[in-house]
Amino acid sequence: MNARVANIGPRERRRRLILGVVALAVGVAAVAALIIGGAARGWIVLAVVPFWVGALGLIQARERT
């Protein structure tokens, strides 16, 4: 059996897509601000969090899970 069953509806899929795009934009803005501000590398590494959340949102929207 290769039938796929969507775990989320269109509304939730759109919500996760928007969350993913916004989180990625926040990550890009945070990294840019930290680099321009001359922050230490440790602070820049913390920007992985919005990128991770963004990736999860986009993957969940794509896979409908």
- For residue range 11-64, list pLDDT tens digits in order: 999 999 999 999 999 999 999 999 999 999 999 999 999 999 999 999 999 998
Q: Give the pLDDT of residue 15.
A: 96
What type of residue is 31?
A: V
What pTM does this model have? Answer: 0.83
* Cα separation values, 15 from 10, 33, 46, 58, Å: 9, 27, 24, 10
CB 53 within 8 A of CB 23: yes
